[in-house]
Structure 1
Amino acid sequence: MAAADGGMYRREKAVALRGSCSALYNNLSVLPRRPQALAYFAAVRGGTVHLVSAAADGLSASHRQLQAKEGGLPGSASVLTQMYESDGSIMVYWHALDAVDPPPAQAVFARGIAAAGGRFVCVGTSSGLVLVFDVPGKGTNITLSEVLEEHCEAITDIAAELSDSPAGAADLVTADDVGTLCVWRAGEAFALLTRIPAFGCTCSSVKLWKGVIAAGYGNGQIRLYEAATGVLRAQVHAHARWIYALDLAPLSGKLLSGAEDSFVHVWQLGLDPDTGDVEIEHCHSECVTDTQICGARFCDPEGSSFAVTGYDLSEIIRYAQV
Structure 2
Amino acid sequence: MYRQDVPITMKGTASSLCNNLSVHAVPDKRQINYAVVHKSLVNLISATTDGSSVVGRQILCKEPAATQGVPFVMQVKWVILPTRSLLVLTTGRGIQIFEPDGAAMVYFHSLSDSLDKSNYAKGVAGVGEKTLCVGTETGAILMFDVPAKGNNITLLDTVCKHQAPVSDLTSEKDVLASADDLGTIIMWTFNGIKLSPVTSIRGTGWPCNSLALWKSVVIAGFASGHLRVYNANSGICGAEVLAHARTINAVDVSRDNGMVLSVSDDTFFRVWHLKALNVPQIEFCHGETVKNSQLVGGRFVDGQGRALCVTGYDSSEITFFVRV
Q: TM-score, normalized by length of structure 2?
A: 0.88
Tell me what 2:226 maps to.
Answer: 221
Distance 1:74 1:88, change over 3 A: closer
Tell me what 2:56 maps to.
Answer: 63
Using the alignment, how far apart are the partners of 1:312 and 1:156 within structure 2? 22
Q: Match of 2:240, SS? A: strand
2:18 aligns with one of 11, 25, 36:
25
Q: Which runs of 5+ in 1 are unaligned?
A: 1-7, 166-170
Aligned AA (2:287): S
1:236 aligns with one of 230, 233, 241:
241
| 1:121-155 alpha-carbon deviations (Å, 9 max, x no partner) | 11111121111111122333211101111112111
Q: CA deviation at 1:74?
A: 3.1
Using the alignment, how far apart are the partners of 2:50 and 2:275 within structure 1? 32
What percentage of aligned pairs have identical amino acids?
A: 39
Aligned AA (1:83): I
Would you say how many aligned residue pairs link Structure 1 and Structure 2? 302
Q: State the superposition RMSD in angstroms.
A: 1.8
Deviates more, 1:296-305 or 1:56-65: 56-65
Within a 5 Å distance, the mapping from 1:137-152 to structure 2 comes to: 137-152=148-163
1:183 aligns with one of 170, 176, 187:
187
1:259 maps onto 2:264 in alignment: yes
Q: Which runs of 5+ in 2 are unaligned?
A: 72-91
Q: TM-score, normalized by length of structure 1?
A: 0.89
1:172 maps onto 2:183 in alignment: no
* Alignment check: 8 A CA contact 1:83 1:93 kept: yes
2:135 aligns with one of 101, 114, 124:
124
Using the alignment, how far apart are the partners of 2:68 and 2:47 within structure 1? 39
Runs of 4+ in 1 over 6 A off after TM superposition: none
| 1:49-89 alpha-carbon deviations (Å, 9 max, x no partner) | 11000123434211121111224363599722111121111
Using the alignment, how far apart are the partners of 1:223 and 1:260 within structure 2? 18
Aligned AA (2:23): V
Aligned AA (1:280): I
Tell me what 1:95 maps to.
Answer: 109
Deviates more, 1:50-59 or 1:81-90: 50-59
Aligned AA (1:161): E
Tell me what 2:3 maps to.
Answer: 10
Distance 1:129 1:20, change over 3 A: same
* Alignment check: 8 A CA contact 1:267 1:283 kept: yes
* Alignment check: 8 A CA contact 1:159 1:207 kept: yes
Aligned AA (2:145): D
* Alignment check: 8 A CA contact 2:63 2:108 kept: no
Q: CA deviation at 1:38?
A: 1.5
* Alignment check: 8 A CA contact 2:309 2:320 kept: yes
Aligned AA (1:292): Q
Aligned AA (2:177): V
Aligned AA (2:316): S
Distance 1:99 1:193, change over 3 A: farther
Q: Match of 1:174, SS? A: strand
1:310 maps onto 2:312 in alignment: yes
* Alignment check: 8 A CA contact 2:217 2:276 kept: no
2:279 aligns with one of 277, 280, 283:
277
Distance 1:97 1:71, change over 3 A: farther
Distance 1:102 1:184, change over 3 A: farther
Which has the higher relative contact order, 1 or 2, with Cα contacts under 8 A spaced 6 or more apart? 1
* Alignment check: 8 A CA contact 2:208 2:221 kept: yes
Tell me what 2:81 maps to.
Answer: none
Tell me what 2:82 maps to.
Answer: none
1:156 aligns with one of 139, 150, 167:
167
Q: CA deviation at 1:33?
A: 1.7
